[in-house]
């Protein structure tokens, strides 16, 4: 069991001016609070935080991280609250403990590869202070070392989580020492039989390989001294997992794995690295194709080294890595190396430090490999991982979901299932009700509320961020409009049939419907009604198909009265529906007609309501008849921007009853391009004249100009829209 004295000795060795008081106080509180608790091993609980602190010291992190490691379980497992920690140890320590506690709550529940990748990304994204992840790795390392004391199904879950989440995370952060240890420990519990077998075999050859290591060290050491290079040579058995993987990948037995040992030469400068490589290649025959230059082309996590493989003294292949001490530091401790306390430099704010360090790393690599596709890819993936425009959130069960930044609970609902989306009536984030437009943040736990009565509306399109959710809303709205068209189509057809003393039902019975569908080339009744309701098929054509003998006679319209001077201006135009100028719920394929009571003009504020027999009537929003209509019959309509129809409107003009008035008015109509459909002029007894005109104007704006022009004509008293 590690002791606090060992922790302090380790810390002050690389960080002489560390705040040992802080670390000591952290230890005392943890020891007092965990008093009486025991680990599965039977050891007092404090042995765990002490070991984690020791692991943190091995990564050579600062005093704050060591204090946080000692305290990492007190909020979770004792009665200490986070606020108390902050009061006693400061914000930095409290934030680290809080971060580690939060990461401990994440449980990896899905076996899917994607889930694992999301999880790793999420952990990085969530940890504003990368030291949180480092302390968490130190925690996991000790838990894995003591996993043998645990029993039950949690053992396999923890081991798998370690293999799929924590080891790759350590690798991503470049901390090879922790990565390899975690992998070997997880391997032991995931494949106990293979592990035991391999361990035995490695033990059997260990003595022999240790002699071999000594031989190689002596041979190379002598050559380096002769070349006047100061360096250290290191040889070790490879990790079990890498031997196991090699056997599986090449499908070979243990006996055929030759390079069980890896050698490392550590020197001061890059030049010396190349010098050592030369010496090695002089001494032993290099194996073609095995040389790698990771100094010029570092690995994505910053790893630098020269790798080569040669035919060794016994004619066996062996691997040698050559690097500087500084590169070695990064190789072993990765991102942790950047967190080392450096005497004489003041540590900057954690977030700034992390950004600066990454920027440095990225800049260095960008500089080295301006044209390399690899580095571009690396930059992209690094950016995605650490500064990504992605948000990681949780279902209440703890599954991770990834969204583009700015995505809302509605996106979340649609990602679960379109039905959940369509009936989404509200959302809770971290237990609090939020509007559906609320942007989600990293680590949020999102809960969706549904209601059978809820359905998507047009404005939902502006609440979602993902293409998938948009497509699903659009599809729903399209379907809904189709149903509405069908209903309208049925009503229109029934009405027309009723006039002839028929009904759709009777026609269907007689088999006439089938015949009509064939005649018109329409696949089924539903489609017939949809086309009718959508205005793509006229009721007249359907009737004709039903009863060719009853070919409808066109009713002659009422001839306009010949008013002499107006006759040449008056055109006979059928007022009414002009498809495509009004959008119902954003679409233009629904039958609408303009109410005669208020004759809406493009530009007027309008509303529509469903009229069982005639489709949708469009009224001006100010029309008194709208007030009487029940709310559920109202539909959202708007003018289709860009289309300018000629719309019929009635105006009343009061003028003096004098010669030339009609000529003056007709000039105004001509000048403004207004067609007159009908006119009714009569003199009054009091010498005034009242004129009613039905005119065709483009829109409300056009009408306004007409009114102004008429009003400014001398002799005209007033102009109003009827």
| Residue range at the interface with Mn ion (CB under 5 A); choices 37-45, 60-68, 70-78, 531-539 | 70-78
Cβ distance 717 to 687 under 8 Å? no
Give the binding-site size for Mn ion (rule: CB under 5 A).
2
Q: Which residues contact 432 (CB under 8 A, 6 or more apart)?
A: none
CB of residue 142 to Mn ion, shortest distance in Å: 7
Determine, following the binding rule CB under 5 A, whether residue 139 of this chain makes contact with Mn ion.
Answer: yes
73 vs 129, beta carbon nearer Mn ion: 73
65 vs 581, beta carbon nearer Mn ion: 65
68 vs 492, beta carbon nearer Mn ion: 68
CB of residue 442 to Mn ion, shortest distance in Å: 23
34 vs 338, beta carbon nearer Mn ion: 34
CB of residue 131 to Mn ion, shortest distance in Å: 15
| Cβ count within 10 A of residue 109 | 14
| Residue range at the interface with Mn ion (CB under 5 A); choices 65-73, 267-275, 355-363, 448-456 | 65-73
**CA pair distance 276, 224, nearest whole angstrom:** 7
- x/- mask, Mn ion, residues 72-101, rule CB under 5 A, reads -x----------------------------
Please, how many CA atoms are within 13 Å of residue 336, restricted to the half-sphere of its CB? 30
- x/- mask, Mn ion, residues 20-59, rule CB under 5 A, reads ----------------------------------------
Determine, following the binding rule CB under 5 A, whether residue 161 of this chain makes contact with Mn ion.
Answer: no
**CA pair distance 665, 520, nearest whole angstrom:** 49
46 vs 648, beta carbon nearer Mn ion: 46
**CA pair distance 188, 322, nearest whole angstrom:** 30
Strands (DSSP E) contained in 297-389 are 306-311, 317-324
73 vs 161, beta carbon nearer Mn ion: 73
CB of residue 46 to Mn ion, shortest distance in Å: 11
Q: Which of 28, 35, 76, 214 is catalytic?
A: 76
**CA pair distance 464, 409, nearest whole angstrom:** 8
71 vs 265, beta carbon nearer Mn ion: 71
Interface of this chain with Mn ion, residues 353 to 382, rule: CB under 5 A: none
Of 307, 302, 296, 308, the closest CA to residue 372 belongs to 296
CB of residue 448 to Mn ion, shortest distance in Å: 33
Q: Which helix (H) or strand (E) holds 593?
A: strand 592-594
DSSP secondary structure letters along 198-259: HHHHHHHHHHHHHHHHHHHHHHHHHHHHHTT---EEEEEEPPHHHHHHHHHHHT--GGG---
CB of residue 39 to Mn ion, shortest distance in Å: 10
CB of residue 76 to Mn ion, shortest distance in Å: 8
Q: Which of 19, 43, 58, 77 is catalytic?
A: 77
| Cβ count within 10 A of residue 352 | 10
139 vs 694, beta carbon nearer Mn ion: 139
Cβ distance 561 to 678 under 8 Å? yes
CB of residue 69 to Mn ion, shortest distance in Å: 9
CB of residue 101 to Mn ion, shortest distance in Å: 9
**What's the first-to-final CA gap in the chain, in angstroms?**
96
**CA pair distance 603, 705, nearest whole angstrom:** 13
Residue 638 buriedness (CB in 10 A; 0-12 / 13-18 / 19+): middle
Determine, following the binding rule CB under 5 A, whether residue 694 of this chain makes contact with Mn ion.
Answer: no
| Residue range at the interface with Mn ion (CB under 5 A); choices 28-36, 69-77, 336-344, 624-632 | 69-77
56 vs 391, beta carbon nearer Mn ion: 56
Which residues, in sequence order, are bridge partners of residue 688?
A: 656
73 vs 699, beta carbon nearer Mn ion: 73
Tell me, yes or no, if 76 is annotated catalytic: yes
**CA pair distance 392, 398, nearest whole angstrom:** 11
- x/- mask, Mn ion, residues 447-466, rule CB under 5 A, reads --------------------
Cβ distance 674 to 649 under 8 Å? no
| Residue range at the interface with Mn ion (CB under 5 A); choices 138-146, 202-210, 243-251, 405-413 | 138-146
C-alpha to C-alpha distances, 151 to 157, 451, 502, 616, 639, nearest whole angstrom: 11, 44, 80, 70, 70
Cβ-proximal residue to Mn ion, closest one: 139
Spell out the long-range contacts of 461-467 with Cβ–Cβ below 8 A and sequence spacing 24 or more. Answer: 463/408, 463/410, 463/436, 463/437, 464/407, 464/408, 464/410, 464/411, 464/414, 465/403, 465/404, 465/406, 465/407, 465/408, 465/411, 466/403, 466/404, 466/407, 466/411, 466/414, 466/415
CB of residue 159 to Mn ion, shortest distance in Å: 16
**CA pair distance 543, 551, nearest whole angstrom:** 8
Active-site annotation, residues:
76-77
* Residues of the shown chain interacting with Mn ion in the complex, contacts defined by CB under 5 A: 73, 139
């Amino acid at each position: 069991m590690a002791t606090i004295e060992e922790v302090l000795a380790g810390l002050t060795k690389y960080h002489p001016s560390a705040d040992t008081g802080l670390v000591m106080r952290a230890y005392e509180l943890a020891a007092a609070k965990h008093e009486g608790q025991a680990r599965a091993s039977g050891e007092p609980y404090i042995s765990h935080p002490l070991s984690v602190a020791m692991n943190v010291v091995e990564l050579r992190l600062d005093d704050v991280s060591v204090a946080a490691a000692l305290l990492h379980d007190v909020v979770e497992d004792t009665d200490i609250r986070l606020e108390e920690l902050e009061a006693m140890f400061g914000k930095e320590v409290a934030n680290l403990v809080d971060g580690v506690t939060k990461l401990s709550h994440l449980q990896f529940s899905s076996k899917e590869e994607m889930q694992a990748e999301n999880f790793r990304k999420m952990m990085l994204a969530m940890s504003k202070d990368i030291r949180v992840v480092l302390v968490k790795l130190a925690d996991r390392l000790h838990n894995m070392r003591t996993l043998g004391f645990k029993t039950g199904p949690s053992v396999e879950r923890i081991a798998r989580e370690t293999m799929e989440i924590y080891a790759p995370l350590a690798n991503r952060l470049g901390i090879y020492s922790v990565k390899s240890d975690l992998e070997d420990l997880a391997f032991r519990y995931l494949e106990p039989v293979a592990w035991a077998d391999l361990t035995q075999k490695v033990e059997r050859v260990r003595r022999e390989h240790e002699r071999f290591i000594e031989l190689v060290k002596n041979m190379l050491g002598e050559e380096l001294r002769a070349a006047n290079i100061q360096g250290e040579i290191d040889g070790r058995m490879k990790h079990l997992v890498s031997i196991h993987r090699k056997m599986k990948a090449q499908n070979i037995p243990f006996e055929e794995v030759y390079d069980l040992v890896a050698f490392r030469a550590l020197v001061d400068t890059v030049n010396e690295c190349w010098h050592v490589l030369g010496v090695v290649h002089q001494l032993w025959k290099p194996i073609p194709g095995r040389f790698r230059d990771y100094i010029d082309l570092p690995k994505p996590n910053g790893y630098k080294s020269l790798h080569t493989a040669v035919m060794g003294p016994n004619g066996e292949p062996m691997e040698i890595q050559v690097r500087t001490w500084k590169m070695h530091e990064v190789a072993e401790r990765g991102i942790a190396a950047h967190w080392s306390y450096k005497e004489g430099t003041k540590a900057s704010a954690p977030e700034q430090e992390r950004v600066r360090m990454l920027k440095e790393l990225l800049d260095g690599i960008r500089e080295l490999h301006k044209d390399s596709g690899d580095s571009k890819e690396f930059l992209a993936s690094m950016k995605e991982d650490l500064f990504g425009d992605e948000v990681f959130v949780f279902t209440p069960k703890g599954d991770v979901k990834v969204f583009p930044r700015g995505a809302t609970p509605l996106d979340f609902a649609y990602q679960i299932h379109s039905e959940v989306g369509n009936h989404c009536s509200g959302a809770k984030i971290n237990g609090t009700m939020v509007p559906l437009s609320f942007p989600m943040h990293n680590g949020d736990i999102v809960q969706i509320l549904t209601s059978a009565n809820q359905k998507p509306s047009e404005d939902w399109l502006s609440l979602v961020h993902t293409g998938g959710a948009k497509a699903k809303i659009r599809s729903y709205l399209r379907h809904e409009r189709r149903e509405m068209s069908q209903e309208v189509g049925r009503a229109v057809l029934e009405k027309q049939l009723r006039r002839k003393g028929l009904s759709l039902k009777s026609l269907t019975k007689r088999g006439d419907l089938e015949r009509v569908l064939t005649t018109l080339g329409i696949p089924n009744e539903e489609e017939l009604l949809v086309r009718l309701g959508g205005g793509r098929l006229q009721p007249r054509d359907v009737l004709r198909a039903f009863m060719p003998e009853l070919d409808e006679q066109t009713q002659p319209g009422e001839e306009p009265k010949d008013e002499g001077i107006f006759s040449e201006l008056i055109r006979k135009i059928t007022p009414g529906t002009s498809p495509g100028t009004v959008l119902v719920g954003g679409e233009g394929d629904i039958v609408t007609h303009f109410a005669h009571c208020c004759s809406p003009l493009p530009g007027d504020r309008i509303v529509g309501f469903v009229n069982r027999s005639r489709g949708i009537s469009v009224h001006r929003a100010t029309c008194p008849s709208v007030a009487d209509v029940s709310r559920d019959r109202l539909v959202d309509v708007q003018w289709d921007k860009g289309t300018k129809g000629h719309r019929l409107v009635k105006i009343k003009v009061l003028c003096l009853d004098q010669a030339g008035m009609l000529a003056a008015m007709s000039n105004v109509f001509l000048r403004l391009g207004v067609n007159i459909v009908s006119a009714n002029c009569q003199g009054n007894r009091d010498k005034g004249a009242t004129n009613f005109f039905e005119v065709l104007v483009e829109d409300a704006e056009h009408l306004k100009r007409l009114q102004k022009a008429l009003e400014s004509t001398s002799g005209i008293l007033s102009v109003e829209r009827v």
